[in-house]
Amino acid sequence: MTRLEARGLRAGYGDRQVLRGVDLALDAPSMTALIGPNGAGKSTLVRCLAGLLPPSAGSVRLDGVELARLGRPAIARRIAVVPQLFETLFPLTVEEVVGLGRVARLGALGRARPEDRRAVAEATLDLGLGPLAARRIDSLSGGERQRAVIAMALAQEGDVLLLDEPTVHLDPAHQRATLAHIARLAASRRLVVMAVLHDLNLAGAICDRVVLLSDGQVASDGPPADVLTDRTVSAAFGDGLRVGTSDGVPYVVPAPLARFSHWQGTAGPRGALTHRRDGP
Amino acid sequence: MRFATVLAVLAAALVASLAAGVLVGAVSIAPSDVLAALGGADGPSATIVRDLRLPRVLAAALVGGSLAVAGAMLQGLLRNPLADPYVTGTSAGASLGAVGAIALGGAAAAPIVPFVAFAGALAAAAAVWRIARIGGRTTVLTVLLGGIVLTSFAGAAITLLLVANDRLALRAGTVVDLLVGGIRVTDRTELVLAGAVVAAGVASALMLAPRIDAYAFGEETAATLGVDPARTTTAILAATALLAGAAVALAGLVGFVGLVVPHALRGIVGATHRRLIAASFLAGAAALALADLGARVVLAPAELPVGAVTGLVGGPFFLALLVRSGAR
């Protein structure tokens, strides 16, 4: 059974410590949302869990083996990452992009074998990209492109899938559909899935576990109803949010604000966010 | 199927341009005499065909193929369609190595020139890679700036060597060929050696191709896909330096082939590097064989350096590609 585990994990960039002692264990099959305010260390945690950033202290282990002791191809056969940005200058087709997921399994001569072609075809179909297989990636919509990149990660046929804001370029309907799809795949392929999500409502609606990261530490970890409470949310994000529940699912909305019409005719705000203009 | 057709067309174009290069020259020789010479006949025209034209045409093809393959690899690695051995300063590093070897060893240095050119290319490729990563990420700008820095540094160092060294003054013709791109094949061994180096470079390029593909979304995504970035980058730069070193040893600084050929082919054969590299080799070889033919006949009996031809033709062609891709 797959277990990806961080213990006493500290990491950062140069002198800047971002993660200050994270303990987290992810078991298969599961779907976990990683939430937290900007700068809390969510992307850094994903990079550590993928073995891209070496810890300055503590460890990240996959089934008990430290990632630092595995080579890049060995990690890539187990852990797939769906990147946040997926711009490329080169006109790859959808099929070719999905095929990149097999790089870690190619032989010395780099030729695709039948099982590589099968994995690519399966991942392509799984994300409903069959009709688009021959299309160039730069001719697709944002949602289709995101699905192609998820299919690329699935073609790696690992048992851990890490997603860094997988729905950031999508409209609400596509966000929901994409995450629901990933949840189905996680269950059918028995994957460990962890997704960084900014949308707390999606996190609460689709994931069975929510991890709240704040200031480089796990502030709360558990089922959505336990983590998404007024107290934990305002401790991490400040006072501007209200938590409610609907059919047992927690949701988060902005607290009532003074509307535009309230400010009409006033002199305008003065303070930190004021746009100061120098000159005559 | 369609890729096979493209390869067949390019191979036919290569054979045609090689044939044209052997058939046409400053001295007019009847096609039947050319065939007889290739078949082993003797006589003055046979000497011209076998000892001058054939090695030169083959050298041109090797140089063009190497530069195009090296360009395809560098463009993939740097995710930058403006990269090639010439622009990134790799060729300049190779030519500095070659000139340095001649300066120190004179005519006796000839056999080691390809190796020193390779060392110079490798050093330059490593340097431009370092420069390109200043600030943590490679951008089009830092790659081009790194290339400009290296090229002008190598140019100045060559000028210094040329002025300060008597041996170079005696061999000024060779040095000029190195600087402006003139194909000079002194003996058959050199050609065979270069051929072996180019074959090794192209074979490594084809083996590295799927890993170069993985760089399409950046170095970090390449790593999550299972590419060891440090090792793979080193292998790509070494293969590039091998090809650029061989090209410079045979023909000096030849621009635009490595830039234009892969760039133009990407629209036809797609962006995966196995196809791109195979097609680039054939197209680059054919293009430079033709360019060299042009260099020999345009001002006959005087000869133009082939680097001038590729610059005159490739410059506007590249500008047209830029304008077209900018308009899209």
> Each residue's pLDDT tens digit in chain B (328 positions)?
489 999 999 999 999 999 999 998 877 888 888 888 888 778 888 888 888 889 999 999 999 999 999 999 999 988 888 788 988 889 999 989 988 888 877 666 677 887 888 899 999 988 888 887 776 666 667 777 888 889 899 989 888 887 877 666 666 767 777 777 788 776 788 888 889 999 999 999 999 999 999 998 888 899 999 998 888 888 998 999 999 999 988 888 898 999 999 998 998 998 899 999 999 999 999 999 999 999 988 887 788 889 889 989 888 887 887 787 664 4
What is the pLDDT of chain A when averaged over all its residues?
A: 88
Q: What chain B residue is nearest to A101 in terms of C-alpha separation?
A: B225
Cβ distance of A88 and B216 shorter than 8 Å: yes
How large is the average pLDDT for residues A191-210? 93
Residue A275 is predicted with a pLDDT of 46
Question: How many Cβ atoms from other residues are within 10 Å of residue B212's Cβ?
Answer: 27
pLDDT above 50 for A274: no
Local confidence band at A277 (pLDDT 50, 70, 90 cut-offs): very low
pLDDT tens-place string over residues A140-169: 888 888 889 999 999 999 999 999 988 877
Report the C-alpha gap between A69 and A74 in whole angstroms: 10
Lowest mean pLDDT among A37-41, A81-85, A182-186, B312-316: A81-85
Helix %, strand %, coil % of chain B (to 5): 80, 0, 20
Residue B320 is predicted with a pLDDT of 83
A46 Cβ under 8 Å from any chain B Cβ: no
Residues 6+ apart with CB under 8 A from B82: B75, B140, B143, B144, B259
Cβ distance of A100 and B213 shorter than 8 Å: yes
Helices assigned H by DSSP within chain A: 42-49, 72-76, 94-99, 114-126, 142-155, 172-188, 200-206, 224-227, 230-237, 260-263
Q: Identify the bridge partners of residue B102 per DSSP, sorted by sequence position.
A: none
A97 Cβ under 8 Å from any chain B Cβ: yes
pLDDT tens-place string over residues A201-221: 999 999 999 999 999 999 999
pLDDT above 60 for A280: no
Tokens at residue B168, please?
A: 């170079």
Residue B80 is predicted with a pLDDT of 80
Tokens at residue B263, please?
A: 């760039």
3-state secondary structure of B219: helix
Cβ distance of B221 and A79 shorter than 8 Å: no
Tokens at residue B293, please?
A: 């033919």
Chain B positions in Cβ-Cβ contact with residue A88 (cut-off 8 Å): 79, 216-217
CA distance A50 to chain B (A): 7
Lowest mean pLDDT among A102-116, A124-138, B48-62: A102-116
pLDDT above 80 for A55: yes
Cβ distance of A50 and B226 shorter than 8 Å: no
Tell me the HSE value of B58 on the side-chain side, using a 13 A CA sphere: 18
Strand duo A209-214 + A57-62: pairing: unpaired
Q: How far, in Å, are B31, B34, B254 from residue B301 at the CA level?
A: 20, 19, 22
Q: What is the DSSP letter of B216?
A: G
Chain A positions in Cβ-Cβ contact with residue B211 (cut-off 8 Å): 103, 110
Cβ distance of A97 and B223 shorter than 8 Å: no
**First CA to last CA distance, chain A:** 69
CA distance A85 to chain B (A): 8
ipTM of the complex, rounded to two decimals = 0.87
Cβ distance of B226 and A86 shorter than 8 Å: no
